[in-house]
Chains A and B, each alone.
Chain A
């Protein structure tokens, strides 16, 4: 994985903590991981080693799970840090936006 997705994911995590109004600070470790500290749980986000399926590894309080995308990373982080979080599933409207 190139640097750009990691940098932008780090920025997204910073903004996410603010948006969700949860405590915690975000830093980059020397080896490039994204670290969330001072929150309800300790979280480390690493780019996955070359893997055709998973791009990220998310370690929460010592337990590592892989994540297929930045979207999946975000979901794991929020579930860990925001106890009131209940995900919504997108619904597609049955009516057309404009008549065909």
Chain B
């Protein structure tokens, strides 16, 4: 990783689900000593920052509003300022940033800000998204609160909290988590304690190994648990035949055009016909997509394209039909030419 590119991890989860407790424990681990923290509190009086011990000059509280809807530009500005202070040696050196969102925040717009803001592009890379789930109240919260579902759905890893209060995790909770996001590993925190290496290596880029961990990132993609009546669904589209580059482009553009906010997250590895030895890794949040990253080689013997979808009211069959129709038309046009 170039020295100046800093991974940003997002810690999300519903109100009272244990985000701050986990963050407090993480920051006491030696591996997290070079971490800057941004906490977004939503309310007149912020308390979370008082509960986390961190170096004051690399700790920022954003309390002007909910990060997802009011102060996205503040986030970009804060990151820019933080970087300038770091570059000028005016704060403790850090090589990672963790953003703790408010419990009511939709993480998708935050990810979009990190992906698209011109003022911070080039200096940061999106790390993992981690969602905390309270095992005592989780089932009810997920049933009642749309935003809680969304927080789980977009996560790269899920952390169960308050196991000391709930006892063995309810199967109903695990089933619901699998419906919402089968691909995300489910970890457990013991009174806030959790192995940081497991937690923040859940994204595509593993800063410790300095490598791309596609297999973990897409883990569980074949194990769809989508309920047909569910609002938010996770599923995978798998294609054994290579996909033409133009088909992939049209497919992603059309998904963005028609699904918009319904496409909570998409990630995948694609066998592009024009690049059989170097697969493309794709990632999108709603209508914002990263440019494909081209791997140097396939991470395993499996050469199939695997695209994981986390969606709200976007049926799997529609996605498959779209890809098939575009591919057939591109093939037909190629033959005609």
Contacts and interface: CB of A to CB of B under 8 A. Distances in A.
A22 interface: no
Contacts of A100: 2
B47 interface: no
Contact of A15 (B250, B291, B292, B315): B315
Given A8-B325, A93-B290, A98-B204, A2 B126 contact: no
Nearest to A78: B258
Interface string A1-32: 11011001101101110110000000000000
B107 to A, nearest CB: 15
B257 A95 contact: no
20 contacts: A1-B336, A2-B335, A9-B329, A12-B318, A15-B318, A16-B318, A70-B326, A70-B329, A71-B254, A88-B258, A88-B260, A89-B257, A90-B288, A91-B116, A91-B288, A93-B290, A94-B121, A95-B114, A95-B116, A98-B205
Nearest to B332: A5
B189 interface: no
A95 B125 contact: yes
B328 A4 contact: yes
A13 to B, nearest CB: 9
A55 interface: yes
Contacts of B94: none
Contacts of A70: 325-326, 329
A95 B283 contact: no
Given A19-B314, A96-B293, A97-B291, A55 B117 contact: no
A99 B1 contact: yes
B70 to A, nearest CB: 20
Interface string B107-130: 000000011111011101110000
B258 A97 contact: no
A71 B212 CA distance: 33
B252 to A, nearest CB: 7
A74 interface: yes
Given A74-B254, A94-B118, A97-B281, 14 more contacts: A5-B329, A8-B321, A12-B321, A14-B321, A15-B315, A15-B322, A88-B259, A88-B260, A90-B253, A90-B287, A90-B289, A94-B122, A96-B291, A97-B205
Contact of B258 (A1, A74, A99): A74
Chain A to chain B: the 4 pairs with minimum beta-carbon distance, closest first: A94-B121, A93-B115, A90-B256, A97-B290
Contact of A9 (B115, B252, B325): B325
A85 B16 CA distance: 36
Contacts of B115: 93-95
Most central of A8, A78, A88, A89 by chain B CB within 10 Å: A88
B260 to A, nearest CB: 4
B219 interface: no
Nearest to A6: B328
Interface string A46-75: 000000000100000000000001110011
B324 interface: yes
A87 B257 contact: yes
Interface string B301-337: 0000000000001110110011011101101110110
